């Protein structure tokens, strides 16, 4: 791999842009990395060390497309690791033009008490309730904010510093959600982090605009990812878990989105054509809202 502080020139003589995608081992992050490679960018990919094998597979796929790639395992909630990640990408690929701070976690939990009613705790119910349907603890709150908000902040911070030093502008893109525009009753910590990311993004956009750096978020509704599949499978195991759950209205188009649909939005936000869009949180089919319908309440 070519390294150095200067942008690499493609065979056509144009500047070869370089992207970094965090949380890229699967789901939305993986789709974004592939789409940016298809758009002609060299793409560094990140996730935690436990997902190194998935990153290896992804990097091989990117290389097969004729793009350069580099794997950087790091925990985005640890400042030294984020700084080292950015420095490594710059050293190995030659710079940084697009930062996609995609990494995040999801844990369900309400404010005061469970929103759902369980029968006596059988083995099956214990398996389900271990994942969800419980009040959010302080530990739960802090863990979600550490990754989702602090991790995004650190990626923004060190990517911005690098882009400013390069003097050629850049694109910083973060992960919000429709639940960052309308609260999620059984995901109080998750919703709060997604609202926070929108505020962080707007403030950063105002600060970085003069450097030619745009800062935006994607804020999708229901997307068919491994995380979404796991959550729905666990809810389906126990019909009592959904007894008091607000009924969900399907998206306006009649189906859930795919990771590739999110990647297409990121593709545009990362493009040179998106130079006049900043501080935005782009949603799509987010009319899939929760409609309050409680049944069997006594």
Set 194, 218, 268, 272: catalytic member: 194
> Taking a C-beta distance cutoff of 8 angstroms, is the pair 93, 70 a contact?
yes
Rounded Cα distance between 237 and 241, Å, is: 9
Rounded Cα distance between 35 and 264, Å, is: 7
Set 70, 190, 218, 284: catalytic member: 190
Rounded Cα distance between 238 and 105, Å, is: 23
Q: Which residues contact 292 (CB under 8 A, 6 or more apart)?
A: 246
Tokens 């909630």 label which residue?
77
Is residue 190 annotated as a catalytic residue, yes or no?
A: yes
> Taking a C-beta distance cutoff of 8 angstroms, is the pair 283, 261 a contact?
no
SS percent in the chain: helix, strand, coil, step 5: 45, 15, 40
Rounded Cα distance between 164 and 264, Å, is: 26
Q: What are phi and psi of 274, to 5 degrees?
A: -90, 20
Is residue 194 annotated as a catalytic residue, yes or no?
A: yes
Catalytic residues: 190, 194
């Amino acid at each position: 791999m070519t390294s150095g502080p200067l942008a690499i020139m493609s065979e056509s003589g144009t500047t070869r842009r370089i992207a970094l995608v965090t949380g890229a081992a699967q789901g939305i992050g993986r789709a974004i990395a592939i789409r940016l490679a298809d758009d002609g960018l060299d793409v560094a990919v990140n996730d935690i060390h436990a997902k190194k094998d998935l990153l290896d597979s992804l990097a091989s796929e990117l290389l097969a497309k004729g793009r350069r790639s580099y794997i950087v395992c790091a925990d985005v909630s640890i400042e030294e690791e984020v700084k080292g990640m950015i420095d490594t990408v710059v050293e190995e690929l030659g710079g940084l033009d697009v930062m996609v701070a995609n990494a995040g976690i999801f844990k369900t939990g309400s404010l005061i008490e469970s929103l759902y009613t369980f029968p006596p705790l059988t083995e099956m119910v214990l398996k389900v309730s271990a994942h969800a349907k419980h009040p959010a603890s302080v530990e739960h709150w802090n863990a979600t904010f550490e990754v989702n908000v602090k991790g995004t902040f650190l990626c923004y911070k060190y990517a911005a510093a690098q882009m400013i030093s390069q003097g050629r502008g850049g694109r910083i893109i973060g992960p919000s959600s429709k639940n960052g525009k309308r609260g999620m009753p059984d995901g109080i910590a998750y919703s709060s982090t997604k609202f926070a990311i929108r505020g962080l993004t707007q403030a950063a956009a105002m600060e970085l605009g003069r450097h030619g750096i745009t800062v935006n978020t994607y804020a999708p509704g229901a997307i068919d990812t491994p995380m979404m599949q796991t959550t729905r499978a666990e809810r389906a195991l126990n019909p009592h878990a959904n007894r008091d759950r607000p009924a969900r209205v399907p998206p306006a188009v009649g189906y859930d989105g795919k990771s590739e649909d999110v990647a297409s939005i990121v593709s545009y936000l990362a493009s040179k054509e998106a130079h006049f869009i900043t501080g935005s949180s782009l949603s799509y089919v987010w009319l899939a809202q929760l409609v309050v319908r409680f049944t069997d309440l006594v």
